[in-house]
């Protein structure tokens, strides 16, 4: 796999950093998640392919241990509030002095500088600060955050993974590590570059929810079907729009022009009525194989059995039968090989990992007895 041989220490976080760590693990990195002691169960649902070590960082020995793990690794991924790692004496400058090849990724909401740097926050706050949230939502309604996808995952975990891979690539020539300051505000804003930069061509001149791609246009929206399901319509270009009308059995000559903004509410009314007359399966049969850009809005239950997704094996099942998306993108020679075993329990691999990092059994026993580390192998899974 592409990241084979890369050793990552991931400090346990909430959602964005775990996703970043999972991407690295899916593509072959050896990711060790550092958990707290005495925590019953992990809330990390993005733990695929990781191993867990439980260390009490409120002890000097725990901090010294983590330092040793970090300096022997390629990447440190930390999701804490600015200053937390420095307080522990594990800040990036000290760590890079000990291991100049270390890539030290800091994934936060507001970044490592600026007056908000130490403030608590979540996806919705970061998205709001990026400017993007102000553009999301239907006409006449308040701004609406699309789950916690934009800041936590697109602008956060994924962007941070890109930073890490770039730094690993650069290290092959310079031999040097570096510090990555991944701010979810900036990551989300960057993902939103199209929205920012396409203002110059008038894409967003109307208020929220009244533009072509923000649910303003009737040919770029979802419609309810007779069975309470939905179809997604993305028929932008005139040749595709014509096929949409054909599928809906509408005569272009009897309708207002596609780009007549003032007629969009009337067009939407007509499309709504039409889509409500047949089931999702009916519409899928009508539009499948055309260029009308109309697809069913698949539920999580439907998605993996859709023929296209089935043909590409786009969804995988783990050993418990739970379904999730296959890692993307697909690399031809070195594709991801996601681990199908169950997620690690907290501290499951403490002894295994410490042994791998050169600690003797006596060292490990002493740390276990002193409560510096915890090992919760198989019993926690019962």
Just list the catalytic residues.
Answer: 122, 152
Q: Is 16 in the site for ligand MRS (CB under 6 A)?
A: yes
How far apart are the C-alpha atoms of 49 and 85, rounded to whole Å?
Answer: 25
SS (H, E, C) 300-322: HHHHCCCHHHHHHCCEEECCCCC
Min dist CB 145 to ligand MRS, Å, is 9
Query: Which listed residue (55, 127, 145, 188) binds ligand MRS by CB under 6 A?
Result: 55
How far apart are the C-alpha atoms of 331 and 328, rounded to whole Å?
Answer: 8
How far apart are the C-alpha atoms of 327 and 316, rounded to whole Å?
Answer: 9
Give me 288's structure tokens.
């499948």
Q: Is 274 in the site for ligand MRS (CB under 6 A)?
A: no
Q: Which stretch binds ligand MRS (CB under 6 A): 54-62, 247-255, 316-324, 364-372?
A: 54-62
Distance between the two ends of the chain, CA-based, in angstroms?
32
* Sign (positive or negative) of CA dihedral 109, 215, 278, 273: positive
Q: Is 84 in the site for ligand MRS (CB under 6 A)?
A: yes
**Per-residue x/- track, 117-156, ligand MRS (CB under 6 A):** ---xxxx------------------------x---x----
Query: Which listed residue (1, 63, 67, 80) binds ligand MRS by CB under 6 A?
Result: 80
Those residues with Cβ within 8 angstroms of residue 277's Cβ, 6 or more apart along the chain or in another chain = 226
Nearer to ligand MRS, 56 or 280 (CB): 56
Q: Is 343 in the site for ligand MRS (CB under 6 A)?
A: no
Q: How far is C-alpha 315 from the geometric centre of its chain's CA atoms?
A: 16
Min dist CB 317 to ligand MRS, Å, is 23
Give me 167's structure tokens.
């730094």
| Residues binding ligand MRS: number (CB under 6 A) | 26
Q: Is 58 in the site for ligand MRS (CB under 6 A)?
A: yes
Q: Is 347 in the site for ligand MRS (CB under 6 A)?
A: no
Residue-by-residue DSSP string for 77-99: EE-SPTTHHHHTT--HHHHHHH-
Determine which helix (DSSP H) or strand (DSSP E) holds 11, and give its type and residue range: strand 7-11
Nearest to 231 by CA among 279, 196, 169: 279
Q: Is 108 in the site for ligand MRS (CB under 6 A)?
A: yes
Q: Which stretch binds ligand MRS (CB under 6 A): 56-64, 70-78, 129-137, 209-217?
A: 56-64
Q: Is 348 in the site for ligand MRS (CB under 6 A)?
A: no
Half-sphere exposure of 89 (CA within 13 A, CB side): 13
Cβ–Cβ under 8 Å, residues 56 and 91: no
Q: How far is C-alpha 8 from the geometric centre of its chain's CA atoms?
A: 18
Q: Is 39 in the site for ligand MRS (CB under 6 A)?
A: no
Min dist CB 98 to ligand MRS, Å, is 20
How far apart are the C-alpha atoms of 131 and 218, rounded to whole Å?
Answer: 25
Q: Is 56 in the site for ligand MRS (CB under 6 A)?
A: yes
Q: Is 268 in the site for ligand MRS (CB under 6 A)?
A: no
Min dist CB 12 to ligand MRS, Å, is 6
Nearer to ligand MRS, 51 or 81 (CB): 81
> Which residues are at the interface with ligand MRS (CB under 6 A)?
11, 13-16, 34, 36, 43, 55-58, 79-81, 84, 87-88, 108-109, 120-123, 148, 152
């Amino acid at each position: 796999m592409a990241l084979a041989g890369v050793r990552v220490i991931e400090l346990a976080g909430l959602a964005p950093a775990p996703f970043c760590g999972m991407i690295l693990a899916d593509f072959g990195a050896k990711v060790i998640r550092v958990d707290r002691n005495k925590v019953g169960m992990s809330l990390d649902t993005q733990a695929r392919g990781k191993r867990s070590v439980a260390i009490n960082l409120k002890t000097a020995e725990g901090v010294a241990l983590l330092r040793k793990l970090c300096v022997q690794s390629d990447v440190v991924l930390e999701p804490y509030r600015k200053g937390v790692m420095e307080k522990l004496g594990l800040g990036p400058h000290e760590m890079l002095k000990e291991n100049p090849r270390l890539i030290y990724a800091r994934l936060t909401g507001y970044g490592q500088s600026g007056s908000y740097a130490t403030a608590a926050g979540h996806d919705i706050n970061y998205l709001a600060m990026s400017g993007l949230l102000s553009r999301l939502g239907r006409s006449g309604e308040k701004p609406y955050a699309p789950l916690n996808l934009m800041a936590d995952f697109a602008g956060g975990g994924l962007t941070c993974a890109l930073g890490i891979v770039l730094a690993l690539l650069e290290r092959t020539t310079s031999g040097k590590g570096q510090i990555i300051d991944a701010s979810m505000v900036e990551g989300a804003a960057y993902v939103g570059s199209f929205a920012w930069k396409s203002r110059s061509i008038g894409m967003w001149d109307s208020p929220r929810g009244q533009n072509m791609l923000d649910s303003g246009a009737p040919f770029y929206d979802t419609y309810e079907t007779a069975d309470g399901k939905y179809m997604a319509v993305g028929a932008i270009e005139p040749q595709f729009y014509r096929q949409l009308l054909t599928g809906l059995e509408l005569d272009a000559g009897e309708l207002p022009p596609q780009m007549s903004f003032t007629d969009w509410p009337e067009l939407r009314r007509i499309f709504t009525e039409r889509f409500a007359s047949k089931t999702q399966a009916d519409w899928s049969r009508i539009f499948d194989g055309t260029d009308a850009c109309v697809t069913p809005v698949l539920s999580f239950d439907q998605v993996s059995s859709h023929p296209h997704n089935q043909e590409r094996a786009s969804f995988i099942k783990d050993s418990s039968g739970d379904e999730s998306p296959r890692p993307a993108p697909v690399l031809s020679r070195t594709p991801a090989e996601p681990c199908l075993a169950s997620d690690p329990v907290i501290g499951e691999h403490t002894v295994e990992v410490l042994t791998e990092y050169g600690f003797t059994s006596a060292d490990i026993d002493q740390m276990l007895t002193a409560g510096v580390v915890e090992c919760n192998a198989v019993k926690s899974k019962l």
